[in-house]
Chains A and B, each alone.
Chain A
Amino acid sequence: MFKLSTLALVLASAFAPLTAFAVDCTPGTATGNVLIGTTDSGVANRVLTTSCVTIDDQILDEQQWGSQAAFLSHVSRISFNLLKQGKINAIERSKLMRAAQTSAIGTTIKVKIIGFNDFHGYIKSREGSSSNPGAASFAYQLKQLRAQNPLHAVVSAGDMIGASPLTSALFKDEPTIEVMNRIGIDFNAVGNHEFDEGRDELLRMQNGGNHPTDIYSGKGLDADLKDGEFAGASFKYLAANVVDANSGETLFPGVGVKSFLGSKVAFVGMTLEGTPTIVSPSGVAGLNFQDEADTVNALVPQLKAQGIQSIVVLIHEGGFPTLSGGQCVGISGAILDIVNRLDPAVDLVISGHTHQEYNCLVNNSAGKPVRVTSASQYARRLSDIDMVIDTRTRDVVSIAANNVVVPVPAVSNNTVPLDASVQEVIDHYAAESAVPAARVVGKITATISRSMNSAGESALGDVIADAQLDATNDADTGNAVIALMNPGGIRADLPFSATGKTDGDVTYGETFTTQPFGNSLVTMTLTGAQIYAVLEQQWGTAQPFPRMLQVSNGFSYSHHFPLPLDRNLTASEGTQFTTAVRGNSYVVPGSVTLNGVPVDAAASYRVTVNSFLADGGDTFTALTGGTNRLGGAVDTDALEAYFAANPGGLAPGAQNRITRN
């Protein structure tokens, strides 16, 4: 025992910093004065106990106080006790109180807002893309940020679920909700993809309960279930501009309020007004989507009447910066017009939808700059936002924001820190989905990419359109002669090589990630004139950017669209598109052919599209005029059948169906 304690002493003296010996812990001795914040109280900072606790240690000026009054009450009680104990005199107590008031501690609080957007169920690292960090790395970074400040809120600007990869989507995105429940987030504004499976399914995401028919629902770990079923989100969905046409009520509350030591911050959540144009109409039936800025501005007086002055908007609508890396040079997009019209009471806008990273200042309706952030996509970034609130006015006085990179874990010998609790959920679902995900559905001879050529045609678009035609061209499946596929429904490439499979194999997991929506095929009769109209709607007046439909073999046409199609438009090109280009005709008359024969405006053709397009999705309203509709297979099943019909493997095609003159 003696030896052990000696050793401990030696070790302690070896590791203790030298300065430790300079501090005299004799009660009553002092080194310097009590500093409250940066205010010198003029009172000697005496040691109170043999364990070295000083007067200063008891003041707790480093922690946040919701008001000067709260801090003064604390100092009053501490100093009164010291007075009664004879540790300080009455004059010194007065000086401590005065310094506490002069320090201004409690006049402001600092609140950390952690924002993200377009998570899209990418819980498993590297699923869909090797750039995706996954939710365990995301959660670790998020919790690191959150630990910096006990006053915090974690918020999402929509598309948390939907268009998600297999590990989440196979289980109806319940895994993503369970991951977010474990992380602990406060609010999620609805985005367009929250409506992918309709309002009832979205309400189930909030309220819990298993899916009525899907066998993969309710497969979570016991700790995440409630009464043996999916528990629903422990965070609140917000939908200020989504109004039930019957009741006139919003689908979810429009505003979530969080109080920080008595100062309230309102989070107004909403999706883009144009949500119905990019979601299957059946999913949003009976819901009205209202103007974003008007919705916020109408809420401002109500919030102020409740004494709320700090207002954050979570909006699933965004912008396009011309430079990557979060800079704001030449940012364009719908978010600009929205922020330009916002009431000056709005202090911060956390945006999304465009999957971009930015951290910008955009002028509000009073011409004053407002901070507008967006954190890329798929858990790759977190917006770390520090907001200083004046506790007296309860309004925001300053905001500093920074987009933080979420590192991607290595496949082997990983050193990226992961959150164990979240990883447990991911591992569970990865194991549950391993067998269906790894099932080989076909072969390819090279990577088949969704990247478009200059005419607007992609190799993967061709394969998917061909698969959809093949699934519907028989007499009993629809007699289709043409298939058209929307580019936004093709979410990822089919890679030749990937971990966990043999080169050239295509797994069910990969086809699912490529086509995660579960749309079914619809074959309809269109006239040649309607086909021309559909093609012209690719750059129609309602399109935010050109959307090139992918077409099946045998169908061909030429166009002379004037802007690039093989990349995103720049800001100036985007402006050119919306002001001068869209709404014009660019299809070369007479160039539209089927198997070499010109399409006749008056003739009828059987055309296959997915259920999203069939309802006029992506503003292809001409498709709603299709007649003699016949429902078909689910899109991934059609693709799988096409692979089965081509056992030798599919190769990227010539991409020569669409030509540009």
Chain B
Amino acid sequence: MKIYALKPLLASLLLIGSCAAQAAHFEVISHNAASRYTGTVDFNDFAFLGSDVSGGGDFGTMASGGEIAADYEHDGFAYGGFIGGSMIDLSTSVAFNSGSAIEYFGTATAVEKTIQLKVVADAGDSGSQVNVSFAGLSSAFDGLAGASGSFQTSLRILSGSSVLGSFSTNQLTDQNVNFSFLAQANDILTLSASQGLHMNASGPIDASLTGMLNGQFTVTAVPEPEQYAMLLAGLGLLGVAARRRNR
């Protein structure tokens, strides 16, 4: 491709960008979530329940706890948050370290049971259809080494009872999470997400299991047909301009 052809291309991309950039967004109607880190260690049970860490336009809960004893240490947490009306963030972790023959069973769960989202088409949007896309990464850190455990992350978004997008895995390897769907302004969507993991370990051992899901929703207005026509006309003009410059 010749260099000068880049300019109109960039311009047309910008044009598409500015069309797509007609803002629309989610408004959080309600948030119902919980988190906990529980288990047993050395014949004692422990349970750390989450507390609310919401504020501003963000929602979340987090539980964390741990213990440093003479011959062992364990620590774990579970955090789940929905930030800025667009970002879902889950992380759970269990970890145990002992030089003695001590038994540990730990589980951490972060559950966003229901996040009710209203689709808001901002002023300036024409038409009420929006495109919702999600891009995220599921990841884990496997420190099991001699212990055993399991991991599960799930995410689902519903309109009524119809599933618009979902993801579920029990793999520890990195996985991209991508989906998109169309919705209407004023739709109420229900987002649910959870992450849970557990580990059982027998000392002497130094082991852990950590999970992570992070992803972003992007809500954009879908241009009406006449806007597409304008876009195409604009692209055509740019093409003519480019051709002229080429001569």
A interface residues (Cβ-Cβ under 8 A, vs B): 66-70, 72-73, 76-77, 80, 83-84, 89-91, 93-95, 97-98, 101, 106-107, 109, 259-263, 390-392, 394
Contacts and interface: CB of A to CB of B under 8 A. Distances in A.
B95 A97 contact: no
Contacts of A67: 53-58, 60, 83
25 contacts: A66-B55, A68-B53, A68-B54, A68-B60, A69-B54, A69-B55, A70-B84, A72-B81, A73-B60, A76-B91, A76-B212, A80-B210, A89-B143, A90-B75, A91-B95, A94-B77, A94-B95, A95-B75, A97-B62, A98-B75, A107-B55, A109-B56, A262-B58, A390-B55, A392-B54
Contact of B53 (A72, A260, A262, A394): A72
Contacts of A106: 53, 55
A607 B206 CA distance: 100
Interface string B32-75: 00000000000000000001111111111010111000000111
B210 to A, nearest CB: 5
Contact of A95 (B52, B66, B209, B214): B66
Given A67-B60, A69-B83, A80 B208 contact: no
Given A72-B79, A91-B73, A93-B210, A101 B95 contact: no
Q: How large is the interface on B (under 10, 10 to 19, 20 to 34, 35 or more residues)?
A: 35 or more
Contacts of A391: 55-56
A261 B84 CA distance: 9
A97 B77 contact: yes
A90 B143 contact: yes
B228 interface: no
B200 interface: no
B53 A90 contact: no
B55 A94 contact: no
Contacts of B64: 94, 97-98, 101
B75 A94 contact: yes
Contacts of B87: 73
A72 B62 CA distance: 9
Nearest to A66: B56
B77 A80 contact: no
A89 B208 contact: yes
4 tightest Cβ-Cβ pairs between the two chains A and B: A262-B56, A391-B55, A67-B55, A90-B208
Given A80-B141, A89-B95, 20 more contacts: A67-B54, A68-B54, A69-B58, A70-B58, A70-B81, A76-B79, A76-B89, A77-B89, A77-B212, A89-B208, A90-B93, A90-B94, A94-B66, A106-B55, A109-B56, A263-B57, A390-B55, A391-B55, A392-B54, A392-B55
A73 B76 contact: no
A612 to B, nearest CB: 41
A530 B15 CA distance: 70
B180 interface: no
A392 B84 CA distance: 14
Interface string B101-123: 00000000000000000000000
Q: By DSSP majority rule, is chain A's interface helix, strand, loop, or mixed?
A: helix
B12 interface: no
Nearest to B199: A90
A390 B55 CA distance: 8
A69 B81 contact: yes
Given A72-B79, A91-B97, A83 B56 contact: no
Interface of B: 51-60, 62, 64-66, 73-77, 79, 81-84, 87, 89, 91, 93-95, 97, 139, 141, 143, 206, 208-210, 212, 214
A394 B91 CA distance: 26
A68 B97 CA distance: 29
A423 B117 CA distance: 49
A375 B238 CA distance: 54
A80 B95 CA distance: 14
A73 to B, nearest CB: 4
Nearest to B174: A84
Contacts of A90: 75, 93-95, 141, 143, 208-210
Contacts of B82: 69
A67 B141 CA distance: 27
A390 B95 CA distance: 33
Given A76-B79, A83-B210, A101 B89 contact: no
A19 to B, nearest CB: 32
A390 B212 CA distance: 29
A76 B54 CA distance: 16
Contacts of B141: 80, 83-84, 90
Contacts of A73: 60, 79, 81, 83, 87, 89, 214
B50 to A, nearest CB: 10
A262 B95 contact: no
A89 B207 CA distance: 10
Nearest to B89: A73
Contacts of B209: 90
Contacts of B143: 89-90
A87 to B, nearest CB: 12
Contacts of B83: 67, 69-70, 73
A307 to B, nearest CB: 9
A158 B93 CA distance: 55
Contacts of B97: 91
A94 B93 CA distance: 7
Contacts of A392: 52, 54-55
Nearest to B74: A91
A69 B82 CA distance: 8
Contacts of B56: 66-67, 70, 109, 260-263, 391, 394
Contact of B93 (A93, A259, A390): A93
A391 to B, nearest CB: 3
A68 B55 contact: yes
B39 to A, nearest CB: 13
A82 B197 CA distance: 20
A394 B56 CA distance: 6
B221 to A, nearest CB: 21
Contacts of B65: 98
Contacts of A95: 66, 75
A67 B85 CA distance: 13
Tell which of A67, A93, A260 has the most Cβ of chain B within 10 Å: A67
Contact of A66 (B58, B89, B94, B212): B58
Contact of B60 (A72, A77, A84, A261): A72
Tell which of A77, A91, A97 has the most Cβ of chain B within 10 Å: A91
